[in-house]
Structure 1
Amino acid sequence: MTGSAFVISRIVDAPRELVWRLHTQADHLKNWMGPKGFPMTHCTMDLRVGGVFHYCLQIPGGGGDMWGKWTFRRIEAPHLLECIVSFSDADQGVTRHPMGPDWPLQTLGITTFEETPDGKTRITVNWSAYEPTPAEQACFDGGHDSMEQGWGGTFEQFLDYLARVK
């Protein structure tokens, strides 16, 4: 069964090595990662194959906490991060999406960092359902507009943070 991948890309005015650090170090990630308006209250990073980026986002309006984790499958610094992405609990257990019971239990996230000839960096996020059921694949395929909004806000926060640290 194949569905459609979600792909979003932005070119940022910064060298790839800096963009890589901001994507792979907890001290930076906690300042920008996540949809706009969802502050990160917990962030740990074990950047190695088999390691985990574990985080907690606070849902606006007193909606509680939303935990997530990325388990790294492939790391090619400063070019590529590949990981299995899932919702989580405080103990890094895999959980269902708190508001979407048909959301895939796991997704495959591949982020690439490409130097442009003018010294900028193209960041591309390619996300697909990982070993989904038919219902999970349909939910994922139907969620692209929501993912566009969430990742769009995340990129906005990244650009704001990048401007502060450059």
Structure 2
Amino acid sequence: MDNNLNHSFEFTRVFDAPRELVFKAWTETIHFSKWWGPKEFTLKVVIMNARSGGRFLGFLTSTDGNRVMWRKFTYQEVIEPEKVSFIQSFSDEQGNTVEAPFSGSWPLEIMNVITLEEDEGKTVLKLKGFPVDASAEEQESYNSMAPMLQKDLEGTFDKIADYLVSLK
């Protein structure tokens, strides 16, 4: 795993919400379904068992209804309220791993490690993502898409920030 850390994507965001609430937003269907995914997509959760060894299966639908993307997670480690790590993949409706719809050279599996730190009533979220067992071509594809990843994450994290504010 350490060799992948040299090619990781890192993102930090501070949320004006307590750590316990941010953790629930990542681990409870009622919250997660309201914000996860790029801005122009909505999420429908089919399965969500956010615990170490659990899994997630759901699909994103574009606001125009023309694009549907299934995603799955295999949760590696869930420690309340400080950490959620999972391997994320594109999938079909049955949860079988499939190639990304936008690139045949995108890694099949991406590890995401999310840590949450309390900071005077706010939460500092740090996300680190990196391909799992990627070929050189897949790693290069991942690295070259960093600007798109950054944009998608900013949009997704804007959605969770707005959602957390709505809970106040």
1:15 paired with 2:38, answer: no
The answer for the alignment partner of 1:131 in structure 2 is: 133
Q: Which residue of 1 aligns with 2:115?
A: 112
The Cα of 1:82 is off from its aligned counterpart by 1.1
Give the unaligned 5+ runs of structure 1: none
* RMSD (Å), alpha carbons: 1.3
User: Which residue of structure 2 lines up, in the alignment, with residue 94 of structure 1?
Assistant: 97
1:43 Cα shift? 4.2
Q: Distance in 2 between matches of 1:160 and 1:107?
A: 26
Are the equivalent residues in 2 in contact too, given 1:26–1:45 (CA < 8 A)? yes
| Equivalent in the alignment of 2:40 | 37
Q: Is the 8 A contact 2:29 2:45 kept in 1?
A: no
**Structure 2 counterpart of 1:66:** 69
Contiguous gaps of at least 5 residues in structure 2:
none
For the residue of structure 1 that corresponds to 2:125, the secondary structure is strand
**Separation (CA, whole Å) in 1 of partners of 2:50 and 2:41:** 23
C-alpha distance in structure 1 between counterparts of 2:37 and 2:18, whole Å: 22
Secondary structure, counterpart of 2:35 in structure 1 = coil
Provide the TM-score with structure 2 as the length reference: 0.93
Equivalents in 2 of 1:144, 1:63: separation in Å? Answer: 25
Identity in percent: 32
Moved over 2 A (4+): 41-44, 59-64
Residue 63 of structure 1 deviates from its aligned partner by 3.0
Counterpart contact for 1:29–1:43, Cα < 8 Å: no
- What SS does the corresponding residue of 2:25 show, helix, strand or coil? helix
Equivalent position to 1:161, from 160, 163, 166 = 163
Deviation, 1:42, is 3.3
Moved more, 36-45 or 120-129: 36-45
* Normalised TM-score (structure 1): 0.94
